Amino acid sequence: MCGLVGGKPTYGGSSRYGMIAFASSLDTPGPFARNVLDAALLHESFSGHDTHDSTSIDAPVPPVVDAARLGDVDGLRVGVVKELDSDGFQSGVRQRFHETLELLESLGAKVVELSCPSFDAALSAYYLIAPSECSSNLARFDAMRYGLRVGDDGTRSAEEVMSLTRAQGFGPEVKRRIMLGTYALSSGYYDAYYGSAQQVRTLIKRDFDAAFENVDVLVSPTTPTTAFPIGERAEDPMAMYLADLCTIPSNLAGNASLSVPCGLAPEDGLPVGFQVMAPPLADDRTYRVAAAVERALTERDGALLASSPYAVTR
């Protein structure tokens, strides 16, 4: 949405040690950079096994830097997820996305369309799983042990200090997610909400597994629209959550994914992202495709990305 390259490594491929936990089964540190090679260098530098993180994978870091320098997609099988390329997406986003698909085909990639039907339920599942884990993780910020403490003037009870601290220390969206998660985990609702969401998560993983039997990577737009003005969706959380529609499936499945700019939407001149998704520990495939896209777009119309108000001329 802002013209940057952004990567999400395989879950467990980059250590969470030192981070504030939000959703433990989803949290994955990843790089942001102005180009694919910089993102790959950053990815490689902070990835690898870490004994301080119980979810850290004890496996070699995928060769992301070599892939970013190679940028060759000849013979690569690219799957377009039908559920993430619908008429409801902004027209300029779809236009740039399909132009990028044509570009990949011209470079020797084989592009096919396939279906991942469970992806339609990914947004709903995510916004039950993430708030539930958020509610549990952020309970530790209670003003008693560490962090912010508000109203501790000797006249208030511990409960009052906790309430004042959490009211001031968390913003509106964090409070909303804590309340959603607390409700989803409450007695009588756990199986109906959180438990069902985890079942949907399993179906999403199965859709990915089935798709990767036939293709090397999956692709989609990164977001259904270009960037919206700051505050425009503050009063409409659902509209804001829909911006995550395309990126959530990989997060739920723990797969690798990466977004690379693929031009500007004609109607508003704002950046459009092209998302590449790969199986676990195949992060290098995302950089391979992204580098090919970046290089081809620069060679074809170098002014396209440089004309973005967010770009910096090197």
Domain ranges of the chain: 5-116+204-306
In the prediction, which pLDDT does 302 show? Answer: 66
Whole-angstrom Cα distance, residue 61 to residue 53?
Answer: 16
Whole-angstrom Cα distance, residue 119 to residue 16?
Answer: 26
State phi, psi for 277 to the nearest 5 degrees. -120, 140
Reported as a single tens digit per residue, the pLDDT across 11-61 is 999 999 999 999 999 999 999 999 999 999 999 999 999 999 999 999 999
pTM comes to 0.93
Whole-angstrom Cα distance, residue 261 to residue 3?
Answer: 5
Count the neighbouring beta carbons within 10 Å of the beta carbon of residue 214: 10
DSSP code of 49? -
Reported as a single tens digit per residue, the pLDDT across 228-274 is 998 888 888 889 999 999 999 999 999 999 999 999 999 999 999 99
Burial of 101 (0-12, 13-18, 19+ CB in 10 A): buried
Count the neighbouring beta carbons within 10 Å of the beta carbon of residue 244: 16
Reported as a single tens digit per residue, the pLDDT across 200-234 is 999 999 999 999 999 999 999 999 999 999 888 88
Whole-angstrom Cα distance, residue 306 to residue 67?
Answer: 23
Contacts with 118 (C-beta within 8 Å, 6 or more apart), sequence order: 200, 203, 204, 206, 207
Residue 71, token pair as written in the block: 């940028």
Residues 14, 271, 119, 197: is their CA dihedral positive or negative?
positive
Cα 216 off chain centre by: 19
- Among 80, 123, 134, 97, smallest CA distance to 251 is for 123
State phi, psi for 196 to the nearest 5 degrees. -65, -40
Pick the CATH number of 5-116+204-306 from 3.30.950.10, 1.10.260.40, 3.40.640.10, 3.90.1300.10: 3.90.1300.10
Q: What angle do CA 17, 22, 26 make, to 5 degrees?
A: 80
Which tops the pLDDT comparison, 146 or 150? 150
Query: Is residue 314 predicted with pLDDT exceeding 60?
Result: no
* Cα end-to-end span (Å), the chain: 21
Reported as a single tens digit per residue, the pLDDT across 89-141 is 999 999 999 999 999 999 999 999 999 999 999 999 999 999 999 999 999 99
Residue 2 · residue 310 · CB < 8 Å: yes
Contacts with 277 (C-beta within 8 Å, 6 or more apart), sequence order: 208, 217, 218, 219, 220, 249, 250, 255, 256, 257, 286
Residue 188, token pair as written in the block: 């009588």
